[in-house]
């Protein structure tokens, strides 16, 4: 469990550091083009989730975050924490939730600052915490799928 905590603290710290740097460097709603036509750094406060779902529902999102952290702690035995990949996945998810939770409690929004786009098509701006959550969940899904495949292969064939 100590590796999960270490990864979570590192993710939350990196998230808070990058948001602090962005807030210090860019005023709200400002953007700075890094790769023309593809990537900009922005300072966009977000009171919701991706695509501004649940916009202005900060308290609800704080409660959901706390419940998610509690559930992950209570059901941690369902993660195969003796295996490195599972520890990494849980650490990334936990750190990401904590990083955004700190913002929601402290400033009542998260700061999104990574903005990718091609012409009029764009992905919602996001931050380090969002990335950690998505990568952690993706990793968790892959590990779960691999476990299911391995379990099926180890079952004896049923003959008729």
Beta carbons within 8 Å of 69's beta carbon, 6+ residues apart: 94, 97, 98, 101
Query: CB count, 10 Å around CB of 73?
Result: 12
Choose the catalytic residue: 15, 56, 103, 130.
130
Q: Is 148 a catalytic residue?
A: no
Choose the catalytic residue: 15, 56, 103, 112.
112
Backbone CA torsion sign across 46, 112, 137, 76: negative
In DSSP notation, 89-153 reads: HHHHHHHHHHHHHHHHHHTSSEEEEEEEEETTEEPPPB-HHHHHHHHHHHHHHHHHHHHHHHHHH
Asked if 18 and 113 count as a contact pair (C-beta separation under 8 A), the reply is: yes
Q: What are phi and psi of 128, to 5 degrees?
A: -60, -40
Q: Is 56 a catalytic residue?
A: no
Cα distances (angstroms) measured from residue 39 to each of 54, 100, 124, 125, 148: 26, 22, 12, 10, 38
Catalytically annotated residues: 112, 130
């Amino acid at each position: 469990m100590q590796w999960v905590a270490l990864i979570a603290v590192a993710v939350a710290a990196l998230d808070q550091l990058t948001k602090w740097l962005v807030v210090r460097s860019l005023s709200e709603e400002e953007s700075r083009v890094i790769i023309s036509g593809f990537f900009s750094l922005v300072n966009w406060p977000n009171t919701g989730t991706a695509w501004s779902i649940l916009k202005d529902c900060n308290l609800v999102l704080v409660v959901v975050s706390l419940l998610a952290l509690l559930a992950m702690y209570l059901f941690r035995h369902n993660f195969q924490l003796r295996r490195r990949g599972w520890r990494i996945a849980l650490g990334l998810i936990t750190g990401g939730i904590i990083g955004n939770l700190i913002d929601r409690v402290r400033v009542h929004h998260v700061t999104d600052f990574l903005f990718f786009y091609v012409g009029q098509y764009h992905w919602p701006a996001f931050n380090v915490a969002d990335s950690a959550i998505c990568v952690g969940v993706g990793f968790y899904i892959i590990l779960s799928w691999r476990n299911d495949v391995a379990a099926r292969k180890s079952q004896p064939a049923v003959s008729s």
